[in-house]
C-alpha cells in the first residue's frame, strides 16, 4: 500500500510540474497575464520570469522522473526538497504578489507541499532506496 502511495505521489508531482510548465514555456495568454501581475508586484520582467519559472518546473519534473525510475535517495531528497521550495514560493507569490490569490492554485501548492514533506519522510525511512 505504501509503495503505491509513494508511486502515486511521484506521478502526480511529475504530471503537475509538467502541466504548469508547458503553458509558461508556450506563452499561453493566461500564463502571460499572471506573470504580468507578478511583474507589477516584484519588478522583474514578466517574460523572463515566466520562462525561468517554466524551465525550472520542467527541470524539476525531469528530476522527479529520474528519481521515480532510479530510486536514488539523494536525487529523491533533492527533487522533493526543490518541489517543496517551489511550492512555498508559489504560495508566497499567490498571497503577496497577486492582487487576489487564485484558490485552486493555492490548494494545489498546499497539496504538493504536503506530498513533498511526506515523500521526504518516506525516502528518509525507506532502506530499499539506494544511497548512491
Q: pLDDT tens for residues 71-124?
A: 899 999 999 999 999 999 999 999 998 889 999 999 999 999 999 999 999 998
Q: Would you say residue 132 has pLDDT above 70?
A: no
- pTM tops 0.85: yes
DSSP 43-107: -S-HHHHHHHHHHHHHHHHHHHHHHHHH-BHHHHHHHHHHHHHHHHHHHHHHHHTSSS--HHHHH
Q: What are phi and psi for residue 101, nearest 5 degrees? A: -60, 145
**What pLDDT shows up at residue 3?**
80
* Residue 48 in this model has a pLDDT that exceeds 60: yes
CA distance 13 to 108: 10
Is residue 60 a contact partner of residue 89, using CB atoms and an 8 Å limit?
A: no
Position with higher pLDDT, 129 vs 24: 24
Amino acid at each position: 500500500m505504501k509503495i503505491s502511495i509513494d508511486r502515486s505521489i511521484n506521478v502526480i508531482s511529475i504530471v503537475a510540474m509538467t502541466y504548469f510548465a508547458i503553458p509558461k514555456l508556450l506563452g499561453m495568454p493566461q500564463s502571460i497575464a499572471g506573470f504580468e501581475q507578478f511583474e507589477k508586484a516584484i519588478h522583474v520582467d514578466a517574460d523572463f520570469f515566466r520562462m525561468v519559472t517554466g524551465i525550472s518546473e520542467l527541470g524539476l519534473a525531469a528530476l522527479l522522473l529520474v528519481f521515480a525510475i532510479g530510486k536514488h535517495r539523494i536525487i529523491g531528497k533533492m527533487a522533493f526538497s526543490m518541489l517543496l521550495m517551489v511550492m512555498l514560493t508559489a504560495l508566497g507569490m499567490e498571497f503577496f504578489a497577486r492582487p487576489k490569490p487564485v484558490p485552486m492554485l493555492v490548494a494545489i501548492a498546499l497539496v504538493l507541499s504536503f506530498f513533498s514533506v511526506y515523500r521526504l519522510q518516506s525516502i528518509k525511512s525507506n532502506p530499499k532506496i539506494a544511497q548512491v
